[in-house]
């Protein structure tokens, strides 16, 4: 066990020395891997910003509940009490018919039309904020609300919600596709570098086998080499994303401010950074595995 | 003990390197394998080292039939024997010390003990003061002694050497042969493929011609 751990340490150190022995080549490889990883990582960051935007924009998914014109205030209070008991309801705003009338009058354009009417045409209404913004959950809640006594009409902003959801889904799918393609690119880069290393170290590999090296012993330094390349590329990607975040944060906040949206571009958090580095190291290792499988058999 | 029992080795497309060869070498003994170029000397050593497999017959080393040795067991078998190759197979980008350290690293020796063993082996072959040098900085005789140090550092029971004095001048060849004889004297079995038998007095002889035993 001690010898096994010792050889792991030696293999990692040897892999590091081989990377350091060709600094320019290694740096260019790390840069290529880093850029390939930074694109999906940056995309993830922008997707998070889009989610944040959807959460803070004024048009958040809501359900409007309109009482019947004949319903009195007691019925409206009864509906309010029932709405407050609904587990899916997050926020509740009551719009009294008198307030609505006053606001419409104050809005200017409709004032003369409304004053010409014999009675207040607006019903009492509730604006319901929901806990679960998924379209299917909102549809279910709307169905429940339609059953309440005195409720005439329930308007669900489902089209907006569905569009946003579809857009986010498309973004996630595109990101996954991009990450898969660039991940394959990383594997290919690692494959090529390890193949070159194996060919360069051919004499040592042959000698080691003659002196009693197991296949695991022969492969281990190359697997560390691939993993370290991936990990280094992951670090470069993290740096690129962090720099881009800092670079774009102020102009994006300024743009968002013009639309009265409070938007702060956030970099990768601890978990995302850990996933990025682990994924990068894994892909580098995978490239090395494929390369060794082919090259050592050759 | 090494035993060849009617061993033949045929390379594609039908070249016979060894034909129906039988012999035995006892523990701690020395066998000199002679013959002209292409007689089968190197093939014989490769069969013992497990680098090649016989086409027919049985090669037994220490009671182990190498033909039935599992591929996963082969590396561990090779760690028990020392090999000096005809082309030396030195790593020219590694120091003398690192070259000799390689078999011990492969066997998983703790670094401190391995270091002591490497220095002892280098002292034994007279390279104690050259441990930091690169092989390219050594003379032909020193490179051969380095190859011997690497072969013996694991303290093998059996030492195989393929033309260890080829390309060396007479004095250096004699010096290298003396080192082999010293190891044999302390109980290491020795198999040497060589043209120059007189450098290794006291050894049994096996003469080959076109893969057949002729003496």
**Does position B93 have pLDDT exceeding 60, yes or no?**
yes
DSSP A152: E
CA distance B113 to chain A (A): 12
Start-end of H helices in chain B: 41-49, 74-78, 96-107, 111-124, 140-152, 170-185
Structure tokens at A234: 């992951």
**Model confidence band, residue A234 (pLDDT cutoffs 50, 70, 90):** very high
A68-82, A108-122, A145-159, range with greatest mean pLDDT: A68-82
| Bigger pLDDT: B77 vs A69 | B77
Determine contact, residues B31/B202, Cβ cutoff 8 Å.
no
Q: Do B107 and A206 touch (CB under 8 A)?
A: no
- Residues in Cβ contact with A224 at an 8 Å cutoff, skipping those fewer than 6 apart: A11, A12, A14, A15, A16
pTM higher than 0.95 for the full model?
no
Mean pLDDT of A76-99: 89
**Does position A56 have pLDDT exceeding 60, yes or no?**
no
Do you find a cis peptide bond into B13, omega within 30 degrees of 0? Answer: yes
Considering only CB atoms, which chain A residues are within 8 Å of B89? 203, 206-207, 210
**Model confidence band, residue A60 (pLDDT cutoffs 50, 70, 90):** low
Which domains does chain B carry? 1-80+156-215 (3.40.50.300), 92-155 (no CATH)
| Residue A201 sits at the chain B interface (C-beta within 8 Å) | no
pLDDT tens per residue, range B167-176: 788 888 898 8
Please provide the average confidence, as pLDDT, over all residues in chain B: 92
**Does position A263 have pLDDT exceeding 70, yes or no?**
yes
pLDDT value, residue A58: 46
- Best of B45, B50, B75, B94 to disrupt the A interface (most A CBs within 10 Å) is B75
pLDDT value, residue A159: 63
Sheet holding A125-130, edge to edge: A89-95, A125-130, A62-67, A151-156
Considering only CB atoms, which chain B residues are within 8 Å of A2? 110
Structure tokens at A104: 């419409």
- Residue ranges per domain, chain A? 2-56+171-297, 62-156
Distance CA A162, CA A239 (A): 35
Least trusted range by pLDDT, from A49-63, A74-88, A181-195: A49-63
| Residue A202 sits at the chain B interface (C-beta within 8 Å) | no
Mean pLDDT of A125-153: 87
ipTM more than 0.85? yes
CATH of A62-156 given 1.10.357.10, 3.30.70.3040, 3.40.30.10, 3.10.20.30: 3.30.70.3040
Q: Do B108 and A7 touch (CB under 8 A)?
A: yes
DSSP B86: T
Mean pLDDT of B40-57: 94
pLDDT value, residue B106: 92
For residue B180, the number of C-alpha atoms closer than 13 Å in the C-beta half-sphere is 35
Mean pLDDT of A27-40: 91
**Does position A55 have pLDDT exceeding 80, yes or no?**
no
pLDDT value, residue A54: 64
Q: What backbone torsions phi and psi does residue A222 show, to the nearest 5 degrees?
A: -75, -35
């Amino acid at each position: 066990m001690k010898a096994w751990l010792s050889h792991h340490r030696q293999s990692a150190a040897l892999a590091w020395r081989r990377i350091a022995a060709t600094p320019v080549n290694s740096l260019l490889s790390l840069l290529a891997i880093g850029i390939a990883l930074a694109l999906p990582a940056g995309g993830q960051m922008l997707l998070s910003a889009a989610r944040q935007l959807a959460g803070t924009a004024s048009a958040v998914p809501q359900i409007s509940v309109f009482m019947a014109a004949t319903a009195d205030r007691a019925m409206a209070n009864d509906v309010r009490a029932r709405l407050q008991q609904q587990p899916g309801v997050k926020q509740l705003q009551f719009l009294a018919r008198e307030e609505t009338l006053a606001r419409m009058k104050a809005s200017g354009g409709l004032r003369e039309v409304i004053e010409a009417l014999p009675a207040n045409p607006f019903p009492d209404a509730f604006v319901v904020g929901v806990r679960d913004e998924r379209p299917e959950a909102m549809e279910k809640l709307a169905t429940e609300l339609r059953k309440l006594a005195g409720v005439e009409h329930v308007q669900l902003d489902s089209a907006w919600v569905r569009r946003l959801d579809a857009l986010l889904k498309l973004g996630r799918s595109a990101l996954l596709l991009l990450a898969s393609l660039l991940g394959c690119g990383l594997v290919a880069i690692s494959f090529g570098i390890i193949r070159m290393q194996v060919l360069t170290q051919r004499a040592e590999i042959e000698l080691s086998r003659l002196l009693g090296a197991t296949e695991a012993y022969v492969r281990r330094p190359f697997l560390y080499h691939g993993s370290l390349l991936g990990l280094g590329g992951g670090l470069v990607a993290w740096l690129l994303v962090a720099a881009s975040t800092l670079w774009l944060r102020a102009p994006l906040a300024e743009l968002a401010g013009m639309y009265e949206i409070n938007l702060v571009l956030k970099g990768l958090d601890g978990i995302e950074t850990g996933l990025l580095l682990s994924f990068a190291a894994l892909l580098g290792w995978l490239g090395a595995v494929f390369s060794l499988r082919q090259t050592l058999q050759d | 003990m090494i035993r060849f029992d009617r061993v033949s080795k045929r390379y594609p497309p039908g070249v016979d390197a060894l034909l129906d060869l039988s012999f035995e070498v006892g523990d701690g003994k020395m066998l000199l394998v002679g013959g002209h170029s292409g007689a089968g000397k190197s093939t014989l050593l490769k069969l013992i080292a497990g680098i090649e497999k016989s086409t027919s017959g049985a090669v037994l080393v220490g009671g182990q039939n190498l033909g039935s040795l599992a591929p996963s067991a082969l590396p561990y078998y090779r760690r028990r024997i020392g090999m000096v190759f005809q082309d030396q197979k030195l790593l020219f980008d590694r120091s003398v010390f690192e070259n000799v350290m390689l078999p011990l690293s492969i066997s998983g020796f703790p670094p401190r003990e391995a270091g002591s063993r490497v220095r002892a082996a280098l002292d034994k072959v007279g390279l104690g003061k050259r441990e930091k040098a690169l092989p390219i900085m050594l003379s032909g005789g020193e490179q051969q002694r380095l190859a011997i140090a690497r072969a013996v550092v694991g303290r093998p029971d059996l030492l195989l050497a393929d033309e260890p004095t080829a390309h060396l001048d007479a004095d250096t060849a004699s010096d290298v042969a003396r080192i082999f004889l010293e190891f044999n004297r302390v109980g290491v079995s020795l198999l040497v493929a060589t043209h120059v038998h007189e450098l290794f007095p006291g050894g049994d002889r096996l003469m080959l011609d076109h893969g057949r035993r002729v003496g």
